[in-house]
Amino acid sequence: EDQVTQSPEALRLQEGESSSLNCSYTVSGLRGLFWYRQDPGKGPEFLFTLYSAGEEKEKERLKATLTKKESFLHITAPKPEDSATYLCAVPYGGSQGNLIFGKGTKLSVKP
């Protein structure tokens, strides 16, 4: 069965304290791995798509990397506005839009 597992469930950081979030997946034939950010009461906001092992994408203080079994979201020198829940998802079934989501990592960055 295709699965997506994220760790940790929650992460508290001080402003400027870098860290990484993990997403491990078991799918047959990966067709992309997606990272989203979700603020309370809002819909997921797209961050990155990764397609192959070794690929990296960056946006401001975030960098996503991919291996054959897992993906990491590295957060460098985070700020309070980076506080959110970070979700990863992989496609399943016939369409790349049918996504299995992980439970997410709730990140809190304190000033």
- As given in the structure block, the two tokens for residue 23 are 């997403």
User: Is 27 near other proteins (CB under 8 A)?
Assistant: no
Listed ranges 7-15, 19-27, 32-40, 52-60: which one lies at the site for other proteins (CB under 8 A):
32-40
Interatomic CA distance for residues 106 and 108, integer angstroms: 7
Site for other proteins in 71-90 (CB under 8 A): 87, 89
| Residue 49 DSSP symbol | E
Of positions 41, 54, 81, 111, contacts other proteins by CB under 8 A = 41
Look at phi and psi of residue 96 and say left if phi exceeds 0, alpha if psi is from -120 to 50, else beta.
Answer: alpha
Task: Name the residues that contact other proteins, by CB under 8 A.
Answer: 32, 34, 36, 41-46, 49, 87, 89, 93-104
